[in-house]
Amino acid sequence: MNLPASPAHIRIDSLTFDYGGARPAVDALSFDIAKGEFIGLLGPSGCGKSTTLRMFAGLLAPTAGKILIDGQDIVSRPSWKRNLGLVFQSYALFPHMSVAQNIAFGLHLRKVGKEELASRVASALRAVRLEGFAARRPSELSGGQQQRVAIARAIVIEPEILLLDEPLSNLDARLRDEMRFEIRDIQSRTGITTLFVTHDQQEALTMCDRIAVMNAGRLEQIGTPAEVYDRAATPFVANFIGRANMLPAVLAKAAGVPQLVHQGMTLPAPGPTDLPPGASEGSELSVMVRPHAIRLKAGGGGLTGRVTRRVYVGNIIEVEVELPGGQNLVAELRPNSEEAALAQLGSETRLDWQSSDMRIFAA
């Protein structure tokens, strides 16, 4: 999407929450969100993403920091005055109410008139494609339909911001795949600024405009799915987003040209801007390359190893290559390709990749 220029719709400024442990659960978190943007908070369990969402929703009071919406700090504002729609992991539907009654619940609390209430409920049902389900009870719905009712209940109050707390985690794999696109479609059509918490990298990559990757309460990187996947800012992001091979190397020079060397073998040459700041001859580095970027070639020289595993997984053949020093690299190859033919168990092969396909970090 084309994001509007600053000022930001939402600004999270040095947001901190401390449970009293060895380190804060959320540690000076800061980033901006544009109006209409779909932002994912992604990270492992315990990284602080759900705590951040709860502070945003007014369910937890921050230890320090600000949450600004259009320049106004809402930290001291009670949750019911923040104009937020919240979808919980468990959906939290009322079992004794119909679908329409569940959706209308927030409108009743706001004392919306009868005609407007009926019109807004009908509009919310259309938005989530459940027009014929108004009279049903939650027990008569599938998991995906219950989730859409929860979303309709959140958007019917016309919130300024939608908060989604791992809403797909209770669904089976196939339905989860379908609902990723349903939620994104609903958000695109309504234009609601959305903050989405997930630990699932695939959800974040396929649904979000930008992803804020968190680790141990801190922000590791925020960027588009392509940026965090292709241009990971830290080794943690490289390993957490997608699959990554990490290979130790030493920076050397030949005729003044930088080279990366692993166990005496020369790796593909780095580009002029690929090296981390401060790297000099003799620096110990860590090279990251994705399995799909590795190419297998015949012939010696460069980085060579022995194929120790070959697994057919449908659209790719996954090959593990052991280097002389004991390091294993995984490559993903196209079936029936020349590379796949080279990758026979026990065979020796040369590994290669483009300099643009690797990220280099200080060790």
At 275-326, the pLDDT tens digits run 999 889 999 999 999 999 999 998 777 899 999 999 998 889 999 999 998 9
CATH 2.40.50.140 placement within the chain: 243-362
Per-residue pLDDT, 234: 94
pLDDT tens-digit series, residues 162-185: 999 988 877 777 778 888 888 898
CB 363 within 8 A of CB 355: no
CATH 3.40.50.300 placement within the chain: 10-239
| Cβ neighbours of residue 164 closer than 8 Å, sequence gap 6 or more | 87, 183, 194, 195, 196, 197
Q: Which fold has domain 10-239?
A: Rossmann fold (3.40.50)
Per-residue pLDDT, 247: 95
φ, ψ of residue 90 to 5 degrees: the values are: -90, 0
Distance CA 67, CA 31 (A): 10
Distance CA 164, CA 170 (A): 13
- Between the CA of residue 253 and those of 29, 299, 320, 348, what are the distances in Å? 40, 24, 29, 27
Q: Which fold has domain 243-362?
A: OB fold (Dihydrolipoamide Acetyltransferase, E2P) (2.40.50)
Nearest of 356, 357, 315 to residue 337 by alpha carbon? 315
Distance CA 312, CA 70 (A): 52
Mean pLDDT of 210-234: 96
The pLDDT confidence band at residue 3, using thresholds 50, 70 and 90, is: very low
Distance CA 253, CA 255 (A): 6
The single residue listed with the structure tokens 């959906």 is: 91
Q: E strand or H helix at 273, and its extent?
A: none
The one-character DSSP state at 257 is E
Distance CA 353, CA 351 (A): 7
Distance CA 55, CA 41 (A): 13
Distance CA 180, CA 184 (A): 6
pLDDT tens-digit series, residues 113-129: 999 999 999 998 988 88
CB 352 within 8 A of CB 297: yes
The single residue listed with the structure tokens 């690299």 is: 329
**∠ CA 264-259-338, rounded to 5°:** 75
Which tokens hold the place of 30?
A: 């800061």
